[in-house]
Structure 1
């Protein structure tokens, strides 16, 4: 098992739980985290179990385990003395942000390229595994053979992840906290219209939907990242924070 890649940047009394996406790591959201810290937000980004590890270890983890890691991150910030916590999540991290807003009372949520709807399509776990295998120096016939051997685990993970997302979609009307939804119009992984589904079905009057015309699924690192970062800060700054002192 690799070392924990979670990171925390203390910068102020306002806290943000920053969640990375499926098959990624916290390095994918580090730039956004640093920008939030530069603007006075304490940031904690937990790395989900199995993410960044070799494929065999990754396939032993589950969506429920990853969600537990997200919830543990929220609890960690509370134990550190932060009582108002916003959640910013990318892709699967955005789905987790929505789920947490259905179950908890975060200050606000910012789901980015979060694929949530009641017609969840098949999730290509193989694509992400192939990418990881290349990182491990495995390609060609050897990689194909390994993917073949992993088929039972791949099917189990894909089905579990799809079920998790569908449950989030089912309960989405429970969300009543301020929400900024961000979506790349060039998203190659999901339908950009998923953002409209979220916007339509959450039950909060304080919501906004932001489309980024030239951005893909990796929205926080794409060509409009600077614009997105400023939009997120502007949204968070506009919230009614109590500014209580952290113990």
Structure 2
């Protein structure tokens, strides 16, 4: 089957810009609908695609999490290079972690953290995520179940040391939460795993800015932007953005 790889996207509109960040093993499709929604409301939106994402799972194991962090940084720099001076950041899962880290290290107008694992999973759990992604991707390629199984088993024997680096990146971001000065909206799927629900509480409690909010979407799982309550999520993201202290009205 001919695979059409996902791509970064930029929807330009007004002077207010939003950087949209997808999750680990995800791609820009995770945030494209949100980007289109916000674009229709007058926001410029850009979403980078992390290196190795949207392709074969084997590529992910050859990369460092710092590669993906640099991709998030480059997304921010792309918007500034285009002349945008007011940038908010919204991310899903690992994208939420990156959004928080950007807020600690760069000037941002506001941060939307959706299902961010600030209390990270173990390297083994992250590796299981890669194996699940590999099975899905190879099946979508049209490979037979036997070939899919054989190739997934081959991946299971590959080194996974760099996934510990992802744990470190998440842990270091948790330490930086006190440095965030921008308003923060924490959004969490009620049907998500307990780790993510606990992480959402930690993020909300540790962010020092009093302009913060926390909302649980009871019928949603991990990827809020693709779940059954996505329209409410989109509306809430827009409401949060509209309440920020933008200089360009």
Structures share fold, TM-score greater than 0.5:
yes
What is the CA–CA distance in structure 1 between the aligned matches of 2:4 and 2:137, rounded to whole Å? Answer: 14
What is the CA–CA distance in structure 1 between the aligned matches of 2:194 and 2:216, rounded to whole Å? Answer: 15
Task: Pick the aligned partner of 1:194 from 183, 190, 199.
Answer: 199
What is the CA–CA distance in structure 2 between the aligned matches of 1:94 and 1:111, rounded to whole Å? Answer: 4
1:188 Cα deviation from its structure 2 partner: 4.3
Q: Which moved more, 1:37-46 or 1:133-142?
A: 133-142
Task: Pick the aligned partner of 1:6 from 8, 13, 16.
Answer: 8
Q: Is the 8 A contact 1:116 1:165 kept in 2?
A: yes
Q: Confirm whether residue 156 of structure 1 aligns to residue 161 of structure 2.
A: yes
Task: Pick the aligned partner of 1:72 from 55, 71, 74.
Answer: 74
1:193 Cα deviation from its structure 2 partner: 2.1
Equivalent residue, structure 1, for 2:95: 93
What is the CA–CA distance in structure 2 between the aligned matches of 1:237 and 1:85, rounded to whole Å? Answer: 13
What is the CA–CA distance in structure 2 between the aligned matches of 1:153 and 1:208, rounded to whole Å? Answer: 41
Task: Pick the aligned partner of 2:190 from 172, 175, 185.
Answer: 185
What per-residue deviation string (whole Å, max 9, x for no partner) do you get for residues 184-234 of structure 1?
000148431211010011121111001101000111111111111010000
Distance 1:4 1:136, change over 3 A: closer
3-state SS in 2 of match to 1:155: coil
1:50 Cα deviation from its structure 2 partner: 0.8
Equivalent residue, structure 2, for 1:146: 151
Computed over aligned residues only, the root mean square deviation of the Cα atoms, in angstroms, reads: 2.1
The two structures have a TM-score, normalised by structure 1, of 0.91
Structure 1, unaligned runs of 5 or more: none
Distance 1:152 1:96, change over 3 A: farther
What per-residue deviation string (whole Å, max 9, x for no partner) do you get for residues 74-93 of structure 1?
00100100011000101111
Length, aligned pairs only: 243
3-state SS in 1 of match to 2:232: helix
1:101 Cα deviation from its structure 2 partner: 1.3
Distance 1:239 1:95, change over 3 A: same
Q: Is the 8 A contact 1:120 1:166 kept in 2?
A: no
Equivalent residue, structure 2, for 1:223: 228
Equivalent residue, structure 2, for 1:42: 44
Q: Confirm whether residue 211 of structure 1 aligns to residue 216 of structure 2.
A: yes
1:127 Cα deviation from its structure 2 partner: 1.9
Task: Pick the aligned partner of 1:242 from 229, 241, 247.
Answer: 247
What is the CA–CA distance in structure 1 between the aligned matches of 2:52 and 2:39, rounded to whole Å? Answer: 26
Q: Is the 8 A contact 2:185 2:212 kept in 1?
A: yes
Q: Is the 8 A contact 1:181 1:210 kept in 2?
A: yes
The two structures have a TM-score, normalised by structure 2, of 0.90
What is the CA–CA distance in structure 1 between the aligned matches of 2:84 and 2:38, rounded to whole Å? Answer: 16
Q: Is the 8 A contact 1:2 1:53 kept in 2?
A: no
